[in-house]
């Protein structure tokens, strides 16, 4: 066997499609869907509460073709993306500074840790009171939910940098800013992106909960109104869409993360 063989094998598998592990996963989902459908049609479970996969899909078709889903999704996307972007713009530099500068960390860390342990969704009523039921209050709750996680991770990434690398850079005459640019930042990057992933996940939940609580539109409000009218089909379909969206955002950031990790 040539030394190249394992690498070639690994590559050719990627071209032949998903491996057996993926297929077992797909199979298990299919089994659940079939069982759900059978249980619903035979009356084993009450369709009013649990729906059936077919009913959910049918409801989904209506939601999509009527444009109702897309209209709501636009509102939620703006709130989510705006809040997350703001959290990144504020959280990453703040976390970097806190990881880098001892005095700043000592000043802000207690507050930060307190906020980290606070269920910030509990602040929702206050935010809605202050900012209204429009886009702004949801954008704010996404920001609050995401920013703390992003700051904490960014700070940890900077602080976990191997001190021996910093010493080596100092030995070669590096200034503080050069150390930051050439050692601390590249070393922390994977952890920073991991923080963005966690923050984005929290942001998805925050925007939905925010809209359910006080929405003038958006996916959360759709969930809320279909929920109140016991319309299980659309409700479950929308929930599924949110889950898929959250999964895709996570997946995208995971790709970024592995790209910046060596």
Partner 1 sequence: MTDKQISFDGVRIAYPGKDKPFVAVDDFTADIAPGEFVTIVGASGCGKSSVLLAADGLLATAGGAIRISGTPVRRPGPDRAMVFQDASLLPWRSVLSNVAFGLELQGVGKAERLARAQRYVELVGLDGREQSRPHELSGGMRQRVGIARALAMDPAVLLMDEPFGALDAQTRELMAGELLRIWDTDRKTVLFVTHGIDEAIFLADPVLVMSGNPSRVTEVIDVDLPRPRDEAVRAGADFTHYRAHLAKLLFAGTPATVAAS
| Residues lying near partner 1 in the complex (CB under 8 A) | 162, 164-165, 167-174, 178, 182-183, 186-187, 262
Please report how close the Cβ of residue 214 comes to partner 1 at its closest, in angstroms: 45
C-beta closer to partner 1: residue 140 or 158: 158
Please report how close the Cβ of residue 47 comes to partner 1 at its closest, in angstroms: 55
Tokens of 58: 């049918």
C-beta closer to partner 1: residue 96 or 184: 184
C-beta closer to partner 1: residue 63 or 188: 188
Please report how close the Cβ of residue 162 comes to partner 1 at its closest, in angstroms: 8
Report the alpha-carbon distance of residue 46 to residue 232 in Å, rounded. 11
Please report how close the Cβ of residue 3 comes to partner 1 at its closest, in angstroms: 14
C-beta closer to partner 1: residue 77 or 174: 174
C-beta closer to partner 1: residue 58 or 159: 159
C-beta closer to partner 1: residue 123 or 165: 165
Please report how close the Cβ of residue 260 comes to partner 1 at its closest, in angstroms: 9
Residue 134 to residues 49, 104, 128, 130, 238, Cα–Cα distance (Å): 31, 35, 8, 11, 21
Please report how close the Cβ of residue 121 comes to partner 1 at its closest, in angstroms: 37
- The answer to whether 149 and 86 are in contact (CB under 8 A) is no
């Amino acid at each position: 066997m040539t030394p190249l063989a394992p690498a070639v094998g690994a590559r050719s598998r990627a071209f032949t499609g998903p491996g057996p592990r993926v297929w077992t996963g797909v199979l298990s989902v299919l089994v659940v869907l079939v069982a759900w459908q059978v249980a619903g049609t035979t009356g084993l479970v009450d369709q009013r509460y649990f729906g059936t996969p077919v009913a959910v899909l049918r409801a989904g078709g209506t939601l999509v073709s009527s444009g109702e889903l897309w209209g709501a999704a636009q509102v939620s996307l703006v709130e989510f993306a705006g809040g997350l972007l703001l959290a990144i713009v504020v959280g990453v530099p703040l976390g970097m500074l806190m990881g880098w500068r001892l005095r700043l960390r000592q000043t802000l860390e207690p507050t930060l840790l307190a906020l980290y342990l606070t269920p910030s969704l509990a602040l929702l009523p206050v935010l809605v009171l202050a900012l209204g039921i429009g886009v702004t209050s949801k954008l704010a709750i996404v920001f609050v939910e995401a920013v703390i996680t992003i700051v904490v991770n960014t700070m940890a990434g900077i602080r976990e940098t191997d001190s021996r690398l910093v010493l080596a850079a100092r030995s070669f005459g590096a200034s503080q800013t050069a150390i930051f640019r050439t050692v601390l930042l590249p070393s922390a990057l994977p952890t920073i992106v991991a923080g963005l992933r966690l923050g984005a996940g929290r942001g998805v939940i925050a925007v939905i909960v925010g809209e359910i609580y006080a929405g003038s539109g958006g996916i959360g409000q759709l969930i809320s109104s279909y929920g109140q009218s016991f319309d299980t089909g659309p409700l479950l379909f929308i929930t599924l869409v949110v889950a898929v969206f959250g999964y895709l955002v996570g997946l995208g950031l995971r790709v970024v993360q592995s790209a910046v990790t060596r």
